């Protein structure tokens, strides 16, 4: 998969202010654009603080701990899991 270069949050702030400025001059339809740009800033900050690999590792750890108990091994990919978190393999069916 291709890496996407995310914009700098400062560029997003300047773009949002520019959208509000243009909305004042040309068309009020640019106001929602400015709001959307400002709402995207926290997403970019979280993406900067927690890169994708680290975020996937945190999700994997949380999933592992929620699906297992100390005396039980985690279910492997493709296993059916019931409400109590017990894995049912193809040999159990």
Q: Which helix (H) or strand (E) holds 81?
A: strand 80-81
Report the pLDDT averaged over residues 40-60: 80
Helix (H, G, I), strand (E, B) or coil at 80: strand
Residue 24 lies in a domain: yes
pLDDT of residue 8: 83
pLDDT of residue 20: 93
Helix (H, G, I), strand (E, B) or coil at 68: coil
Residue 45 lies in a domain: yes
Residue 74 lies in a domain: no
Residue 60 lies in a domain: no
Range of the domain at 42: 20-50
Query: Which residue do the tokens 């520019």 mark?
Result: 18
Please state the three-class secondary structure of 2-22 as a single string.
Answer: CCCCCCCHHHHHHHHHHHHHH
Residue 73 lies in a domain: no
Looking at the structure of the chain, the number of domains it has is: 1
**Residues facing 81 on adjacent strands:** 87
Q: What is the pTM of this model?
A: 0.50
Are 30 and 20 in contact by the 8 Å Cβ rule? The answer is yes
Phi, psi (rounded to 5 degrees) for 8 = -75, 140
- Of 42, 35, 41, give the one whose Cα is nearest residue 16: 35
Residue 85 lies in a domain: no
Residue 3 lies in a domain: no
The pLDDT tens digits for 55-88 are: 778 778 877 766 666 666 666 666 666 655 455 5
Residue 33 lies in a domain: yes
């Amino acid at each position: 998969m291709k890496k996407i270069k995310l914009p700098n949050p400062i560029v997003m702030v300047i773009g949002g202010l520019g959208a509000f400025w243009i909305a004042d001059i040309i068309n009020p339809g640019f106001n929602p654009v400015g709001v959307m740009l400002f709402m995207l800033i926290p997403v970019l900050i979280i993406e900067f603080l927690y890169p994708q690999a680290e975020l996937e590792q945190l999700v994997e750890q949380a999933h592992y701990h929620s699906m297992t108990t100390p005396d039980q091994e985690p279910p492997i990919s493709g296993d059916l899991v019931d409400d109590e978190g017990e894995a049912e393999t193809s040999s159990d069916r």
